[in-house]
């Protein structure tokens, strides 16, 4: 099921990226949904997702641990706005400390898993490409 979901998301991203780009919007116009705030509906298309680091089934962006959740969300909101997204869906923000292969401690970091989406009822032109 995860593989099928990943393939569908990838196809949606490719369909959206192969079409004309959406115009940028103001960051304050991008709605933010934190974990548990909205159930995933079928009426959206993913225009961007975090992909800086991928391990197994998870992909996330990393930030210095000194970044607050608000700073991370604002940074992602600006990225979503540049891509013309209607909303930012935050799946997870968490802090981690870890070591390198030699056992040396690495600086703590904040990680986030998120997607920027366009709602199809606001962008009927994208529905045809889904």
Average pLDDT of the segment spanning 105-126: 85
Which are the contacts of 63, defined by CB distance < 8 A and separation ≥ 6?
A: 71, 72, 75, 109, 110, 111, 112
pLDDT at 106: 83
Mean pLDDT of 80-89: 93
Beta bridge partners of 46: 117
The string of pLDDT tens digits covering residues 20-76 is 488 999 999 999 999 888 655 568 888 888 766 555 555 567 888 888 899 999 999
More confident call, 103 vs 44: 103
Is 60 exceeded by the pLDDT of residue 130? Answer: no
**Has residue 9 got a pLDDT over 60?**
no
């Amino acid at each position: 099921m995860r593989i099928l979901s990943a393939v569908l998301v990838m196809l949606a991203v490719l369909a959206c990226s192969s079409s004309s780009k959406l115009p940028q919007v103001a960051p304050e116009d991008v709605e933010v949904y934190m974990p548990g705030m909205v159930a995933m509906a079928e009426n959206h298309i993913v225009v961007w997702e975090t992909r800086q680091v991928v391990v197994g089934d998870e992909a996330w962006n990393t930030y210095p641990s000194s970044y607050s959740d608000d700073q991370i969300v604002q940074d992602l909101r600006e990225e979503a706005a540049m891509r013309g997204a209607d909303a930012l869906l935050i799946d997870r923000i968490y802090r981690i400390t870890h070591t390198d292969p030699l056992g040396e401690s690495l600086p703590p970091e904040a990680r986030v898993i998120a997607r920027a989406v366009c709602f199809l009822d606001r962008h009927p032109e994208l529905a045809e490409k889904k």
